[in-house]
Amino acid sequence: MAVEQYADNLDSMAGVEFYSGILCAGFVNAHSHIELSYLRDAIAEGGGFAAFAESIGRVRGNFSEAERLSAIEEADKAMWQEGVDAVGDIVNGATSFTTKATSPIHYHNFVEIFGLRECNLERQRALLKYPNTSLTPHSVYSVSDVSFREVCSADTDKPLSIHFLESPAEKELYRGCGSLHEWYSRVGFECDFLHHNSPAERIVECIPSDRSVLLVHNCEIATGDITMVLNHFKAPVYWVLCPRSNSYISGIEPRAVELLRRYDRNINICIGTDSLASNWSLSMVEELKIFHDIPLAELLLWATINGAKALGIDDKYGTIEVGKHSGVVNITGVNLENFALTPQSKAQRVL
């Protein structure tokens, strides 16, 4: 690939193709669970966070292996066609690796640990034989103390990807109230990590400061949480927003975005789609449309280079430059007068 500037009249040059819209680098979807694609339309919208987590457990067994595999294939193709170059994908089993072995999309696979009782990590460690895999705890409310510390302090340069403050129930759990606390009490789950006092404290007290981390969702984040996290880490912290998933599950507005931008205009924000269990599609452009007050140029950085940096692949992806492997995406339906997405905006891969 070459990137050049032309002063001449391009109309008269042979081999030049013209596109209506704007061209940008291929997208990096910083947070998805492609293996849950078979759950599209399986869980009702708006049930709230604890009900969603419980529903996933209930409906998981209702689908055949063939249905799971074809849903993953379809989701992978749709992401590629929309212009997604790379995905930070959460993995619980081996189902998605058949598709990933031949997909043109680069996947970083975060093999997820969860369990409130002492958990044996052997089943998850077995998945590390697949390419681009590393272990990560699911969240600060669903992993026992020993396993959380063990995974976070592993000697590796791979980032962690942790679901963080998706719902008020996470902070409430540490205070002994709320829907997670009620659920856990009802089924007899015990937590051995509540001495950390809050989700943010657990993060900074258990993760070495030189380990890069993607914190995913951040819906209920407060300024004090951001300060605590940023004061601790020397390695970069990436704040991944998945606004349509939050809307699907809990009907909440993406308030965190303004708080993060006000805190530091150059804070590392990335975009994820989460899974088809909690979203209508895995479209990066549909996620960006939610942030209609934010300049499009800034949104495109979140959806491209910031995600590439978070996954440690910015030497290959995230910007259109000679020597990189980024795709080229055409976004149509853009209001070119104020440079903003419209409800009609769509993205399609050109290269």
**Closest approach of Cβ 52 to Zn ion, in Å?**
11
Nearer to Zn ion among residue 25 and residue 214 (C-beta): 214
What H or E segment, with its residue span, contains residue 65? helix 65-82
Burial of 152 (0-12, 13-18, 19+ CB in 10 A): buried
What H or E segment, with its residue span, contains residue 232? helix 223-232
**Closest approach of Cβ 272 to Zn ion, in Å?**
7
Burial of 17 (0-12, 13-18, 19+ CB in 10 A): exposed
Nearer to Zn ion among residue 274 and residue 331 (C-beta): 274
Cα distances from 173 to residues 14, 183, 185, 227, 249, in angstroms, run 64, 10, 11, 21, 19
Count, residues near Zn ion per rule CB under 5 A: 1
Nearer to Zn ion among residue 99 and residue 245 (C-beta): 245
| Cα–Cα distance measured from residue 44 to residue 31, given in angstroms and rounded to the nearest whole number | 21
Nearer to Zn ion among residue 139 and residue 268 (C-beta): 139
Nearer to Zn ion among residue 92 and residue 268 (C-beta): 92
| Cα–Cα distance measured from residue 32 to residue 279, given in angstroms and rounded to the nearest whole number | 10
The beta strand positions in 302-339, using DSSP E, are 328-335
Nearer to Zn ion among residue 240 and residue 301 (C-beta): 240
Please say whether the dihedral angle defined by the alpha carbons of residues 47, 51, 53 and 59, taken in this order, is positive or negative: negative
Orientation of helix 178-187 relative to helix 49-59, angle to 10°: 40
**Closest approach of Cβ 325 to Zn ion, in Å?**
26
Instruction: Name the token pair of 10.
Output: 């391009």
Residue facing Zn ion at closest CB distance = 274
| Cα–Cα distance measured from residue 93 to residue 223, given in angstroms and rounded to the nearest whole number | 36
**Closest approach of Cβ 235 to Zn ion, in Å?**
21
**Closest approach of Cβ 253 to Zn ion, in Å?**
19
| Cα–Cα distance measured from residue 281 to residue 274, given in angstroms and rounded to the nearest whole number | 9
**Closest approach of Cβ 90 to Zn ion, in Å?**
6
**Closest approach of Cβ 279 to Zn ion, in Å?**
10
Nearer to Zn ion among residue 249 and residue 331 (C-beta): 249
Residue 55 CA from chain centroid, whole number: 21
Amino acid occupying residue 32: S
Nearer to Zn ion among residue 221 and residue 341 (C-beta): 221
Nearer to Zn ion among residue 281 and residue 332 (C-beta): 281
**Closest approach of Cβ 33 to Zn ion, in Å?**
6
| Contact positions with Zn ion (CB under 5 A) in 251-310 | 274
Is-contact 332 52, C-beta < 8 A? no
Query: Where do runs of H (alpha helix) occur along 154-220?
Result: 168-174, 178-187, 199-206
Residues 6+ apart with CB under 8 A from 293: none
Nearer to Zn ion among residue 170 and residue 274 (C-beta): 274
**Closest approach of Cβ 241 to Zn ion, in Å?**
12
**Closest approach of Cβ 318 to Zn ion, in Å?**
21
What is the contact surface with Zn ion in residues (CB under 5 A)?
274
